């Protein structure tokens, strides 16, 4: 029988598989997707938020534990488990040598990235290169990897993992028989439920306008994170954490594909201009904080607007100051013409921009600092980077909510164990998006998804191996770090 079964094929699953295998356990990894789509949302990532007390290879200055924690506390509004959060934060300072030992390379951020040279280490070749490196390393170490294997059920005996079930299914015309796969321990790392349209609809419900907001959401990542396993675990009585409507949601280009649009569909000019809804009205402070700390609130903000639609409007002054979107914007030399092309109510839109323009109190514009350019007497205010939009051509980018990942997950502890009625399972563990809600009750700060997945993936792998008698290899001191 296999010692450790890993369910999922993204960063958290791969970290768990590698650690369990390094500890000496036999490991099998089940990935729902075909090989070409392996790697879940992790294949779309770019960076890891890293604590460090002094400059380290690709990271400049310092980003101490306390600052990292305060940043997390701010974005979550306190909806975080400090103990688990600090585990992820501390692990982010020491995991990169281990990552490198499995073929991951880092690079400094490219210009135009989210001002993160100090806080975030970028993966050379992005998340796709990272997961490819991990899969290669796992296979070299003898981890058995199976694709097209969506686990549909978990068999338990009083909170103890017994077997995973795979229903009979078909992929690209090929039939796969139903299976029952036994193992002595298991790590669940099968992502959130963001690609389950019905579940999103159920969670978000119908709004006061009679709309089903989630019908207009786009999914930035993998179509394979359907939450089947998460739902099954909840039905089986696993302890749950988080709110099903909480998710990392970015305002992305409304023209992006329904799934897997990835990073290039993001629209990063929000803080440089104004954002209006389809009624031509502003609805939030576009200059509240640095874009990396705020970009993940804009998906929810747009979700609250009529038709879940908005437009990011800039003028010529902003060009060159943000990563250009993949699709060109709508351009016009007058605000009236822009409104006409966007089919916005012309008078309201022009008044919105003119009111904003006359409320701007321009000091010293500095997009790299919380500058003193702000509005006065305007609701909602724009508190930084407020400059009148008066230099044509004007540009508009249509926005829709883009779900990155959902936060509803399984409650866990520092050993990454799944809990039933507050009691830790002896051999069932959880990592990544399936438990990220323990640390992220709401909000987001760039690069923490991979930090949580790497920390708890590694812990889950070590603990799963240990639960079936495989201790930490004395040759690998990094493994020991993963347990603290
Ligand atoms: C466009 C985009 C950009 C991002 N950029 C960053 C970034 O730069 N930095 C950062 O920290 N975070 C980023 N994130 C978030 C990050 O992707 C996640 O936090 C992280 O990848 C979660 O890892 P995971 O292993 O838990 O999930 P995933 O990587 O999503 O892996 C889940 C895996 O489970 C598999 N699976 C699902 N259901 C089943 C089942 N029933 N049976 C078997 N397998 C199953 C899926 O196929 C997939 O392989 C980004 C996300 C997206 C979508």
pLDDT value at 237 more than 70? yes
Cα of 39 from ligand 1 centre, angstroms:
7
What H or E segment, with its residue span, contains residue 248? Answer: strand 247-253
pLDDT value at 482 more than 60? no
User: Does any ligand 1 atom lie closer than 6 A to the CB of residue 230?
Assistant: no
Task: Supply the pLDDT for residue 247.
Answer: 86
Average confidence (pLDDT) over 151-167: 97
Work out the pLDDT band at 116, boundaries 50, 70, 90: confident
pLDDT value at 480 more than 50? no
Residue with tokens 């009148």, as numbered in its chain: 388
pLDDT value at 475 more than 60? no
Average confidence (pLDDT) over 241-249: 89
User: Does any ligand 1 atom lie closer than 6 A to the CB of residue 439?
Assistant: no
Residue 262: CB atoms within 10 A of its CB come to 23
Residue with tokens 């407020």, as numbered in its chain: 386
Q: Which of 7, 11, 40 to mutate to test the pocket of ligand 1 (most atoms within 8 A of CB)?
A: 40
What the chain holds in terms of domains, given with CATH numbers, is 2-192+227-242+407-481 (3.50.50.60), 248-402 (3.90.700.10)
Residue 314: strand, helix, or coil? strand
Q: What is the pTM of this model?
A: 0.91
Q: Which atom of ligand 1 is nearest to the CA of 261?
A: 1
pLDDT value at 473 more than 70? no
User: How many degrees, rounded to 5, is the angle at CA 449 between CA 444 and CA 450?
Assistant: 150
pLDDT value at 196 more than 70? yes
Residue 414: CB atoms within 10 A of its CB come to 15
**pLDDT tens, position by position, 266-322:** 999 999 999 999 999 999 999 998 877 777 889 999 999 999 999 999 999 999 998
């Amino acid at each position: 029988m296999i010692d450790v079964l890993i369910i999922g094929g993204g960063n958290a699953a791969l970290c768990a598989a590698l650690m369990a295998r390094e500890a000496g356990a036999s490991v099998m990894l089940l990935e729902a997707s075909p090989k070409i789509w392996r790697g879940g949302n992790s294949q779309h990532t770019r960076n890891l938020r890293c604590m460090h007390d002094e400059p380290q290879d690709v990271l400049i200055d310092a980003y101490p534990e306390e600052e990292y924690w305060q940043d997390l506390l701010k974005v979550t509004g306190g909806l975080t488990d400090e103990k688990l959060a600090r585990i992820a934060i501390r692990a982010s300072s020491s995991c990169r040598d281990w990552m490198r030992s499995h073929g991951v390379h880092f690079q400094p951020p490219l210009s135009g990235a989210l001002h993160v040279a100090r806080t975030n280490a970028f993966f050379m070749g992005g998340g796709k290169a990272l997961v490819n490196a991990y899969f290669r390393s796992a296979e070299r170490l003898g981890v058995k990897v199976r694709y097209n294997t969506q686990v549909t059920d978990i068999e338990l005996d009083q909170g103890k993992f017994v077997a995973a079930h795979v229903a009979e299914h078909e992929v690209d015309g090929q039939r796969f028989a139903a299976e029952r796969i036994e193992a002595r321990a298991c790590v669940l790392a099968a992502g959130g439920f963001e690609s389950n349209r019905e579940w999103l609809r159920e969670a978000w419900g119908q709004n006061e306008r009679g709309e089903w907001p989630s019908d207009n959401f786009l999914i930035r990542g993998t179509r394979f994170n359907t939450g089947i396993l998460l739902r099954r675990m909840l039905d089986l009585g696993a302890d749950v954490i988080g709110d099903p409507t909480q998710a990392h949601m970015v305002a992305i280009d409304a023209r992006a594909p329904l799934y897997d649009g990835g990073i290039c569909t993001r629209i990063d000019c929000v803080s440089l201009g104004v954002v209006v809804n389809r009624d031509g009205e502003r609805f939030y402070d576009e200059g509240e904080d640095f874009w990396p700390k705020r970009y993940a609130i804009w998906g929810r903000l747009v979700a609250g607007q009529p038709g879940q639609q908005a437009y990011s409007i800039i003028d010529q002054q902003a060009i060159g100051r943000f990563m250009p979107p993949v699709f060109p914007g709508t351009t016009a030399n007058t605000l009236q013409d822009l409104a006409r092309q966007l089919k916005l109510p012309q008078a309201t839109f022009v008044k919105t921009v003119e009111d904003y323009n006359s409320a701007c109190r321009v000091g010293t514009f500095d997009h790299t600092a919380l500058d003193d350019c702000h509005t006065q007497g305007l609701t909602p205010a724009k508190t930084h980077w407020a400059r009148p939009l008066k230099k044509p051509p004007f540009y508009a980018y249509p926005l829709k909510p883009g779900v990155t990942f959902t936060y509803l997950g399984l409650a866990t502890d520092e050993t990454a164990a799944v809990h039933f009625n507050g009691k830790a399972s002896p051999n069932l563990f959880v990592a990544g998006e399936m438990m990220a809600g323990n640390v992220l009750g709401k909000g987001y700060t760039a690069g923490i998804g991979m930090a949580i997945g790497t920390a708890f993936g590694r812990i889950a792998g070590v603990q799963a191996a240990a639960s079936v008698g495989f201790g930490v290899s004395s040759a690998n001191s990094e493994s020991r770090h993963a347990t603290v």
